[in-house]
Amino acid sequence: MIDIAILRADPDRVRENIRKKFQDNKLPLVDEALALDEKRRALQTEGDTLRASRNALSKKIGQLMREKKTQEAEEVKAQVNADAERLAAIETEAGEVSERLKAIMMRIPNFISADTPIGKNDTENVERERFLEPKVPDFEVPYHVDILERLGAIDLDSARRTSGQGFYYLIGDVARLHSAVLAYARDFMINKGFTYVIPPFMIRSDVVSGVMSFEEMDGMMYKIEGEDLYLIGTSEHSMIGRFMNTTLPAEQLPLTLTSYSPCFRKEKGAHGIEERGIYRIHQFEKQEMIVVCRPEDSEAWYDKMWHFTVELFVSMGIPVRTLECCSGDLADLKYRSVDVEAWSPRQKKYFEVGSCSNLTDAQARRLGIRYKTDKGTAYAHTLNNTVVAPPRMLIAFLENHLNADGSVDIPAVLRPYMGGTEKLIPRS
């Protein structure tokens, strides 16, 4: 949510930002917000005038009663009562106007950065850097489900019976590998100075509407029937929600946190075979990183955060690249975002395994996250980034460490988490 003071002062800037995001359908929201804001302020002025008049008239009643001017006092009382009725009506109307204004302001997208490339969708994202040389082996790399099946590591059929499409059983050494990657990522971030947190896996609706746009909410979140609770799509949701309606001491910033959680997403549709299997699923686990900081520090943290993810993947011998997300690929709350993509030797291309975002004060305004300053309080900036998210990451892992005989090498950094195992051996 943007600062309404900016909307008042420079509505054309807001309109231009909407156009850059190719959301022209939202342009009428600017005029609607301005009209509601004007109405709200007019009601506030009228209410303040009535309150001041009430105080003055109350004093006048006392004076008249002391002077035994009973009739005049009663006339003034009648005016006070009439003003009180009008004031009550104003307060009710002002509350309704404020709620409508808030709803509209929450639909207006956050300003994008000057460095954000202009484009309609993710096909126009811009590659920035590559890390490690991508390689294609001299043998055919099987589909990731086939690799897992040869390792005796997956049961999709049973999962479809128990849970439906988009779920799986992960078994044996690969299940252990899955946990090992998460444990390694946890320790990696702790060693970077981040505090480890396990958050709630369900959140209330006011948190959901604070951390994401309504469009994202509809496309991602599972609601618990009969409860004001949603399953989280990422631990960022409950991690940022932790600071809702709080004013943080300045000396506590930045808050640097890393969190583990299962994640639940609707993930409507799969596009082609490569997005089936364990690529696009309804339930997975993830290690996340969160930063809450002063506005002047957020861009520096943004660069640090995505570099941490790159460093983690490189340490496991997985080539990656970074893509600057274009304007049309940014969710409404994002100021800027970079995707981290891992190399797929099978597909001979990169695919997304994580995303780092700077949301400036958009989430903080929705959730009321402030910090103390010399002049009072200010809204904090919030950032989030994927450290690692198996099982999608496992696809890249298996493909990049696969041998011609079907075995899979375990990088040295993971062996302590695998009981010293150096290689996964296929069953057939």
Q: Are 171 and 155 in contact (CB under 8 A)?
A: yes
Region at 60 (left for phi over 0; alpha for psi -120 to 50; beta for the rest): alpha
Cβ-based burial of 152 (10 A; exposed 0-12, middle 13-18, buried ≥19) = middle
Instruction: Give per-residue pLDDT as tens, 179-192.
Output: 999 999 999 999 99
- 309, containing H or E segment: helix 298-315
Where are the alpha helices (H) located in 192-264, listed in sequence order? 205-211, 214-220, 235-241
Give the chain's end-to-end CA distance (angstroms, integer).
Answer: 55
Structure confidence at residue 217 as a pLDDT band (50, 70, 90): confident
Per-residue model confidence (pLDDT) at position 404? 96
Number of residues that this document lists for the chain: 428
Residue 349 has pLDDT above 60, yes or no: yes
Cα-based angle 356, 206, 327 (whole degrees, multiple of 5): 35
Alpha carbons 357 and 347: distance in angstroms, whole number: 27
Instruction: Give this prediction's pTM.
Output: 0.89
Instruction: Using alpha carbons, select from 401, 414, 284 the residue that is nearest to residue 354.
Output: 284
Structural domains for the chain? 4-105 (1.10.287.40), 122-424 (3.30.930.10)
Residue percentage of the chain with pLDDT more than 90: 81
Q: How confident is the model at residue 276 (pLDDT cuts 50, 70, 90)?
A: low
Tokens standing for residue 204: 């209330």
Q: Is 202 helix (H, G, I), strand (E, B) or coil?
A: strand
Average pLDDT over residues 97-105: 95
Least confident stretch, 22-26, 47-51, 54-58, 303-307: 54-58
Q: Are strands 369-373 and 246-248 parallel, antiparallel or unpaired?
A: parallel
- Among candidates 397, 340, 333, which has minimal Cα distance to 359? 333
Amino acid (1-letter code) at residue 250: A
Query: Three-state DSSP class for 190?
Result: helix
C-alpha dist (Å) from residue 40 to 89, 97, 305, 330: 13, 6, 41, 31
* pLDDT at residue 270 in the model: 47
* CB-count exposure of residue 222 (10 Å: 0-12, 13-18, 19+): middle
Q: What three-state secondary structure class fits 342?
A: strand
Tens digit of each residue's pLDDT (9 = 90 or more) over 66-75: 777 878 877 7
Mean pLDDT, rounded, for 222-232:
94
H/E element, 289 = strand 283-293
In the numeric block, the tokens 């209410």 are attached to 47
- Reading phi first (left if > 0) and then psi (alpha if -120 to 50, else beta), residue 68 is in left
Number of H helices, E strands in the chain: 13, 18
Give me the DSSP letters along 5-36: HHHHH-HHHHHHHHHHTT-GGGTHHHHHHHHH
Q: Measuring CA to CA, which residue among 332, 242, 340, 234 is closest to residue 292?
A: 242
Q: Are 406 and 150 a contacting pair, CB within 8 Å?
A: yes
